[in-house]
Amino acid sequence: MRLKLLSPGEMSAEQKETYDEAVSGKRGAPPAPMMAWLNSPDMARHATRLGEQLRFNTIFPAKLSEIAILVTARHWTSHYEWYAHKRLALKGGMDPKIIEDIRDRRTPTFDDPKGQIIYDLAKSLHEGKGVSKPLYDEAVEVLGERGIVEVIGLCGYYTMVSMTLNTFEFGLPEGEISDLA
Protein backbone atom coordinates (compact mmCIF):
# COMPACT_ATOMS: atom_id res chain seq x y z
CA MET A 1 0.00 0.00 0.00
CA ARG A 2 1.51 3.28 -1.10
CA LEU A 3 -0.79 5.45 0.94
CA LYS A 4 -1.50 5.65 4.63
CA LEU A 5 -5.23 5.20 5.03
CA LEU A 6 -6.63 7.35 7.81
CA SER A 7 -8.64 5.93 10.65
CA PRO A 8 -11.79 7.93 11.47
CA GLY A 9 -9.97 9.47 14.47
CA GLU A 10 -7.23 10.84 12.18
CA MET A 11 -9.61 12.47 9.69
CA SER A 12 -10.33 16.16 9.32
CA ALA A 13 -13.93 17.21 9.96
CA GLU A 14 -14.61 17.28 6.20
CA GLN A 15 -13.08 13.83 5.67
CA LYS A 16 -14.98 12.40 8.63
CA GLU A 17 -18.27 13.81 7.32
CA THR A 18 -17.72 12.08 3.97
CA TYR A 19 -16.66 8.86 5.69
CA ASP A 20 -19.74 8.89 7.96
CA GLU A 21 -22.05 9.49 5.02
CA ALA A 22 -20.58 6.50 3.16
CA VAL A 23 -20.79 4.21 6.19
CA SER A 24 -24.43 5.13 6.81
CA GLY A 25 -25.40 4.36 3.19
CA LYS A 26 -26.46 1.07 1.60
CA ARG A 27 -22.92 -0.32 1.70
CA GLY A 28 -22.64 -0.09 5.48
CA ALA A 29 -18.87 0.24 5.14
CA PRO A 30 -16.52 2.63 3.40
CA PRO A 31 -15.69 1.56 -0.16
CA ALA A 32 -11.96 0.83 -0.39
CA PRO A 33 -11.08 3.48 -3.00
CA MET A 34 -12.87 6.16 -0.99
CA MET A 35 -10.23 5.76 1.68
CA ALA A 36 -7.69 7.06 -0.88
CA TRP A 37 -10.08 9.64 -2.31
CA LEU A 38 -10.46 11.19 1.16
CA ASN A 39 -7.28 13.09 0.33
CA SER A 40 -9.69 15.17 -1.76
CA PRO A 41 -12.79 15.20 0.48
CA ASP A 42 -15.19 16.81 -2.02
CA MET A 43 -14.14 14.39 -4.75
CA ALA A 44 -14.54 11.49 -2.30
CA ARG A 45 -18.05 12.64 -1.40
CA HIS A 46 -19.24 12.96 -4.99
CA ALA A 47 -17.49 9.82 -6.23
CA THR A 48 -18.87 7.75 -3.37
CA ARG A 49 -22.39 9.01 -4.02
CA LEU A 50 -22.02 8.16 -7.71
CA GLY A 51 -20.73 4.71 -6.79
CA GLU A 52 -23.71 4.06 -4.55
CA GLN A 53 -26.06 5.17 -7.32
CA LEU A 54 -24.41 2.90 -9.88
CA ARG A 55 -24.09 -0.06 -7.56
CA PHE A 56 -27.62 -0.04 -6.12
CA ASN A 57 -29.94 2.12 -8.22
CA THR A 58 -29.50 1.35 -11.92
CA ILE A 59 -32.15 -0.47 -13.91
CA PHE A 60 -30.00 -3.61 -13.71
CA PRO A 61 -29.97 -6.30 -11.04
CA ALA A 62 -26.51 -7.15 -9.65
CA LYS A 63 -26.28 -10.19 -11.95
CA LEU A 64 -26.20 -7.79 -14.92
CA SER A 65 -24.40 -4.70 -13.59
CA GLU A 66 -21.58 -6.90 -12.32
CA ILE A 67 -20.86 -7.90 -15.93
CA ALA A 68 -19.76 -4.35 -16.75
CA ILE A 69 -17.84 -4.10 -13.47
CA LEU A 70 -15.97 -7.39 -14.00
CA VAL A 71 -15.13 -6.50 -17.61
CA THR A 72 -13.73 -3.21 -16.30
CA ALA A 73 -11.78 -4.85 -13.46
CA ARG A 74 -10.33 -7.36 -15.94
CA HIS A 75 -9.47 -4.65 -18.47
CA TRP A 76 -7.44 -2.83 -15.81
CA THR A 77 -6.20 -6.05 -14.15
CA SER A 78 -7.43 -4.57 -10.89
CA HIS A 79 -6.85 -7.41 -8.44
CA TYR A 80 -8.78 -5.90 -5.53
CA GLU A 81 -11.70 -4.83 -7.71
CA TRP A 82 -11.91 -8.28 -9.28
CA TYR A 83 -11.75 -9.95 -5.88
CA ALA A 84 -14.55 -7.78 -4.45
CA HIS A 85 -16.88 -7.91 -7.44
CA LYS A 86 -16.42 -11.58 -8.26
CA ARG A 87 -17.93 -12.28 -4.85
CA LEU A 88 -20.78 -9.82 -5.48
CA ALA A 89 -21.43 -11.29 -8.94
CA LEU A 90 -21.70 -14.81 -7.50
CA LYS A 91 -23.95 -13.54 -4.71
CA GLY A 92 -26.11 -11.83 -7.36
CA GLY A 93 -26.57 -15.10 -9.22
CA MET A 94 -24.04 -14.80 -12.05
CA ASP A 95 -23.01 -18.09 -13.61
CA PRO A 96 -19.43 -18.91 -12.49
CA LYS A 97 -18.59 -19.89 -16.10
CA ILE A 98 -19.25 -16.29 -17.21
CA ILE A 99 -16.87 -15.04 -14.52
CA GLU A 100 -14.20 -17.54 -15.62
CA ASP A 101 -14.59 -16.50 -19.26
CA ILE A 102 -14.23 -12.81 -18.43
CA ARG A 103 -11.20 -13.61 -16.26
CA ASP A 104 -9.60 -15.59 -19.08
CA ARG A 105 -10.51 -12.97 -21.72
CA ARG A 106 -12.89 -15.32 -23.53
CA THR A 107 -16.29 -14.17 -24.75
CA PRO A 108 -18.90 -15.68 -22.42
CA THR A 109 -22.14 -17.29 -23.55
CA PHE A 110 -25.14 -15.54 -22.01
CA ASP A 111 -28.67 -16.90 -21.67
CA ASP A 112 -29.96 -13.33 -21.37
CA PRO A 113 -29.70 -10.88 -24.29
CA LYS A 114 -29.26 -8.03 -21.79
CA GLY A 115 -26.17 -9.71 -20.35
CA GLN A 116 -24.72 -10.17 -23.83
CA ILE A 117 -25.29 -6.52 -24.76
CA ILE A 118 -23.84 -5.26 -21.47
CA TYR A 119 -20.76 -7.40 -22.06
CA ASP A 120 -20.45 -6.24 -25.68
CA LEU A 121 -20.84 -2.57 -24.70
CA ALA A 122 -18.31 -2.81 -21.88
CA LYS A 123 -15.74 -4.58 -24.09
CA SER A 124 -16.30 -2.09 -26.90
CA LEU A 125 -15.98 0.91 -24.60
CA HIS A 126 -12.70 -0.35 -23.12
CA GLU A 127 -11.07 -1.93 -26.14
CA GLY A 128 -12.60 0.06 -29.00
CA LYS A 129 -12.93 3.36 -27.13
CA GLY A 130 -16.48 3.72 -28.37
CA VAL A 131 -19.49 1.83 -29.74
CA SER A 132 -20.24 0.98 -33.37
CA LYS A 133 -23.56 2.02 -34.89
CA PRO A 134 -24.86 -1.59 -35.14
CA LEU A 135 -23.97 -2.30 -31.48
CA TYR A 136 -25.50 1.02 -30.40
CA ASP A 137 -28.73 0.28 -32.30
CA GLU A 138 -28.96 -3.20 -30.78
CA ALA A 139 -28.24 -1.81 -27.30
CA VAL A 140 -31.03 0.78 -27.67
CA GLU A 141 -33.40 -2.03 -28.62
CA VAL A 142 -32.37 -4.33 -25.74
CA LEU A 143 -31.45 -1.90 -22.93
CA GLY A 144 -32.92 1.45 -23.94
CA GLU A 145 -31.00 4.70 -23.77
CA ARG A 146 -31.03 4.75 -19.98
CA GLY A 147 -29.45 1.30 -19.95
CA ILE A 148 -26.68 2.43 -22.29
CA VAL A 149 -26.00 5.50 -20.14
CA GLU A 150 -25.84 3.34 -17.01
CA VAL A 151 -23.43 0.84 -18.62
CA ILE A 152 -21.20 3.78 -19.59
CA GLY A 153 -21.48 5.04 -16.00
CA LEU A 154 -20.53 1.64 -14.58
CA CYS A 155 -17.53 1.31 -16.88
CA GLY A 156 -16.37 4.88 -16.25
CA TYR A 157 -16.80 4.83 -12.49
CA TYR A 158 -15.18 1.43 -12.07
CA THR A 159 -12.32 2.56 -14.31
CA MET A 160 -11.65 5.31 -11.76
CA VAL A 161 -11.97 2.75 -8.96
CA SER A 162 -9.56 0.37 -10.70
CA MET A 163 -7.05 3.14 -11.37
CA THR A 164 -7.20 4.20 -7.72
CA LEU A 165 -6.79 0.67 -6.38
CA ASN A 166 -3.94 -0.07 -8.80
CA THR A 167 -2.10 3.22 -8.26
CA PHE A 168 -2.13 2.96 -4.47
CA GLU A 169 -1.53 -0.80 -4.59
CA PHE A 170 -4.47 -1.90 -2.48
CA GLY A 171 -3.79 -5.48 -1.43
CA LEU A 172 -6.21 -8.34 -1.09
CA PRO A 173 -7.35 -9.44 2.36
CA GLU A 174 -4.81 -11.63 4.12
CA GLY A 175 -4.79 -15.16 2.77
CA GLU A 176 -6.49 -14.26 -0.53
CA ILE A 177 -4.74 -14.81 -3.86
CA SER A 178 -5.67 -12.94 -7.03
CA ASP A 179 -7.43 -14.81 -9.83
CA LEU A 180 -5.96 -12.42 -12.37
CA ALA A 181 -2.62 -12.87 -14.10
- Average pLDDT of every residue of the chain: 95
Q: Name the more confident of 28 and 109.
A: 109
**Residue ranges per structural domain of the chain:** 8-56, 62-167
pLDDT tens for each residue of 19-58: 999 999 888 888 899 999 999 999 999 999 999 999 999 9
What's the per-residue H, E or C state across 28-62? CCCCHHHHHHCCCHHHHHHHHHHHHHHHHCCCCCH
DSSP structure class, residue 171:
P
- pTM comes to 0.94
pLDDT score of 25: 82
- What is the rounded distance in angstroms from the CA atom of residue 12 to the CA atom of residue 26? 23
Average pLDDT over residues 101-121: 97
Exposed, middle or buried: residue 27 (CB in 10 Å: 0-12, 13-18, 19+)? middle
Task: Report domain 62-167's class.
Answer: mainly alpha
